[in-house]
Amino acid sequence: MVALERQVFDFLGYQWAPILANFFHILVVILGLFGTIQYRPRYIVVYTVWTAVWVAWNVFIICFYLDVGGLSKDSDLLTFNISAHHSWWSEHGPGCVRKEIPSSGERGADTQSYISIMGCLLEYQYIEVLHCGFQILTSENVACLSTLNHSLKTTPV
């Protein structure tokens, strides 16, 4: 459920790299659940390895939004440099007031306007960091439970 929620907000922001990562995460979670329920050790191993990759991805996103290590939240890295979109939360965060200021000149279909954001209770980069932290905690807990379930099934009584 947490991955689906994140997928929705990444789609709203047209952030293609997180959309692909979330898609693979959802597939591997389904595979891991199947492996746990059907007792398929290979699927559990795949899920465990994916959990390490997923944690690394979320740490990268945290570093990206906190501008750590030469990364910048203002870059187009998460959209593969094909669009100027950004986090949906940057304009729609809690308490944010969005004010659109039209550009001077003619208004056409592809005319852009300046958007001013004021009064946010929590800056968007911290919302993204909280999302990533929650993803890390959730995936680690599920991986531990999956491994515990597997070990309980293989322990002789």
Tokens in use for 89? 């939360």
Mark 56-95 as b/e (b = at least 16 C-beta within 10 Å).
ebbebbbbbbeeeeebebeeeebbeeeeeebbbbbbbbee
- The backbone torsions φ and ψ at residue 79, rounded to the nearest 5 degrees and listed phi first, read -105, 15
Residue bearing the bigger pLDDT, 41 or 150: 41
- The backbone torsions φ and ψ at residue 100, rounded to the nearest 5 degrees and listed phi first, read -95, 125
User: What are the pLDDT digits (tens) for 16-69?
Assistant: 888 899 999 999 988 888 887 888 888 888 888 999 999 999 999 999 989 998
| Whole-angstrom distance, CA of residue 54 vs CA of residue 41 | 19
pTM as predicted: 0.77
**Pair 84, 112: CB distance under 8 Å:** no
